[in-house]
Structure formats: structure tokens, C-alpha cells
Chain A
């Protein structure tokens, strides 16, 4: 589904990623683990086109991403939930979820259908839909960000540190939700960066260990 080959990224003259290569397959959950500063977030941001690459290539279903502008990623089906949620506080939860659909100029019926799908997968959102996103708690916000990513994640869903800052009870809840997504959407590949891998043990198909910008271990 998504293939990363020899990705090199440099930030302010420092090599942050060095020849990172891996492949994501549909229906599988890949967990990217590593120390802080190892390059987990950088990997996701580079794939999303939020950082320039120095070298290497990334393909999604045969489409090379290198030449495309950052905002084209969403259009070809990459959904992304950043670590710090980044919701638009004065828009409602539902409006937040709709943003990627609007950006892709989806016709109204398709928007409606996808929105219903998101609500099915994440029933917690149903009661929140009219609340301003600035007023939901941190844990709820994580779910909203997940819903927003699911809106367009036709091929790949990428979640950056989804459990970060969540109290254990909420983290467990989130992990269960993620599992449900994984089970119901077998046609997409999921990539999660995580520093607490035990929460994902149940659903992880592959684990990649990133150290100092390099993948040092990949285990299925």
C-alpha cells in the first residue's frame, strides 16, 4: 500500500532520518517505536509532506509522492492525526471532521456518507458533534482527530503518539477504538508511532524500531 524507500531527511543541517525504508500493507497495523528524537514524528511528517526530503522515495499504490505538494497527500487517501490533536477550536466537532472532505471538494452526498461511517466507527463522537472543538477534553480531542483522519483515510491512516498524555483508562479506551477501526476497515494500512507499545500488542502486525534516524529492527 505505502512503500518508503531510503528516506533521508535533514532538519537545520542535522540528519534526522537516514535511509529509512519500510512497507505498509492493507489490513495491517504497523507500530513505529523508538526513543525520543529517534525520528518517529519526523517520519510521519515527511510522508505527509510537511517536511522536505533530502533523498529517497515514498510510493502509495504506485503513486510517487516526491513531486507532489504537501496538500496533495490527503487527496490520495492519507489520513493523519498529529500528536497534539490540532483541532480548530472555534469550529464544532463535526465541522472539524468535515474539513478534509471540504478541502477535497467532495460532493454533499459523499460527505454525508463518509461522516456517517465515521460516527459508526467512533460512536463516542455522536454526542459531541455540535460541541466546539475547543471545549472537548484531551482524550475526546484525540478521538475527534482520529475521526478527522478517517474521513479521508482511503489508503493509509497515520497516528502520531495517540496515547501520549492520556490517562491509562482513556488510553485503553482509545486502543479499543483503534482495534475496532482495524477490524472494520481491512482495506487500509495503519501506521502508529508509539512509546508505550504494550497497548498495541493486541493489534500490531509489525513493529519497527527506530534509533537515531535509522530502522534498526523490523519484526512482524
Chain B
């Protein structure tokens, strides 16, 4: 049982956290509020994130912390709903026990927190929410997303499977019934319409988020005989779907694209040929990760500590904290070695480019991160989770310019767009 750890952490944080009223004073520790799903079906995705935060903070502290200050995290469960998340955010911010936040996992919570970050002048890093709505509505000077955006992510998937299966005619979509699922479906449909107009969408299903059984959906998908099934199901839902669909032959019948498939590589037997990938570049075994040379050690330490290898939410979380670390270091330097104020940290985050464990990330002018997309197919390689036939898509090429309507931007693409894109297997 992991819960006592959480409790002791909370207590430790409460005791250790010192007020940072005078930004110039170096605090005893750098308090960090970390928001993720710790319970409910979404915890299957949120918990690896939390563990990633624990491990990377442990490693940062072992190397002397950030600017000589150890980091102490307070974890908040997003499963309590927006209202609870917001009151926790405010409580942490206004109680002066934290200086920065890593929040949040769910898009709804990110949308709710971003104006709050500005209001409370709290540098906040969205570690996972990918919704393209986030920075469309209003700009926030304290809210940053150094990772994926749904547009880049799902356009990349469409490009990948079109290149791998050029004669695709029938496509089915099964996504969770909430904004993330619907957004992804509209992006996929728009991209298909632009890149391969003769493709027919034969089924479009949106099972309830957290649904336990997908049997009817599987029958329906099976009956509509699609060439490709696209899905951005995730967490417990994805695991459920894979385990129910595999014995019923769905993976033999069609090519299945699981946008968040990397997270279940270790827990389920995904049939070979299934297209999987990570949202962003957070694949710890990618060539770039190996080139940078930190991810593998991190993964081994992670396996040692938690009994399984990291999944991409783990890497996203760790990378987010590394981005924050870089921002603090930049701000300290800019501040002449003095501990920075929260305003200075936010300033440092603007336009920052950081080399994370898996690649480069650049925060562009609207605070959205430009990140490459790594996609491949399920491979077989010993005991380690593996992805073959990889392609790495340039994040900047797949992202609509800041402030532009993403769907309208996708509609401007043409089949010729495919030619300039990396091919499956090109990333080695």
C-alpha cells in the first residue's frame, strides 16, 4: 500500500515548507504543488506521473536541488473534481507553502486553473493536458505547457498510418466521451478529409469515460469492417478495451491505432502491428533519449523503485519538472545569483528552450510548447517494452501558428503535405 508514503510526504511538506514572502530570500525548500489523478480509473495514467515526479525530485535533490534548494512536493488528487482541485490550488498558493505548481493532468482542470495561475501569480506548468483550447481562449502569463498539443499529436498519427497503409478506405474511431476524445476525433476527421479525401468514416463511437465494458462497441466496430481503427482511449479504459478486443479478434481484423498505446505495452499483450506511440516525444527508449543519455538510467531507477518501466506520462511529468528547474536556474542567473521571485520565474519560462530527457522543447510566444511526436508500431524485443518502425515528426511543422483556429489550419493541408513528412522506420 502506497498511501502512507503520500501521507508522510504531505506531513513532511507541511513541516518543511517555508514561506516565500520575500522572493529574494532563499527558502529552506522549494515547495511544489503537483496535481495528478491518484484514484479512479484515471489513476492508471496519473499514478505513473506521480511516481515520475517523486523519482525526478529525488534525483534533483540528490544533486543538490534547484539552485541549492531541495524540492518538496505536495500531491493533490484530481479525481476530487474541479471544485476540490481549485480550492486545493488556492489553499496551497495562498498558504505560501508552495512557489510553483505542476498542474494538471485533465484538460478541464487545466482550463480552470490557467486564469487562477495568473490571478495568484503562481508559475504553473501543465504537465499533461493537451487540449488545443488551452491557449486559444485567453493568454496567461503564468501558465505554461512545455509538451504536446492535440493538433500536433493527432495529425501526426494520421500522417503515420496513411503512410504505412496508403490504401486505407474505411476508418473507425473509438474515443472516450469527453473533450479530449471529441477533439481528437474532429482533428483526425479533418486531417483525413484534407490528406486523403476518399476515406470513409464507418463508425464513430464515444464510450463513456471510465466505462468498464466495451463489448457492444467491439461488436459494432467488428461489424463495420474498418481497415483502421483509431483510438485515444487511455488509462484503465484503454487497458479494458485492449483486453476485451484482443480475444474477439478486433486486432486481427483491422489495424488499430492507439494514440496512448505506449502506456499499456507493459501491462497487456498488444498484438504486433498495432500502431502505438506517445503524445509528444516522451519515449524513454527513443534514439534521441539514448543520445541525451539520461532516460535509460532514469528508467532503470524507476523500475528498481516501482517494479515496472516508466510510461510516457512518467516522462512528461519528469520533463515538466526539468523545464521548471531550467527556468529557476535561468531566473537565478538573471537575478545575479539571488533566489528569484515568482514573477521572475514566470518571466524566465517565456520562450525557454530546454533539453529534456527525451528531446528539446521550446515554449513559443503563446506559452504552448513545441515538441516532436514519436510514433511507431508494436515490436518484439525481449523483456523491455519496444516500439519498432518509428518516425519522429517535427513538432513545429504540425502545430498551427499561435492564435489560429486549429481545425481551419488542418483544412488548409493537402495530400502533398504527406510527402514532406518522415516515413515509418525513418527514426532509428
Touch A–B, Cβ below 8 Å: no
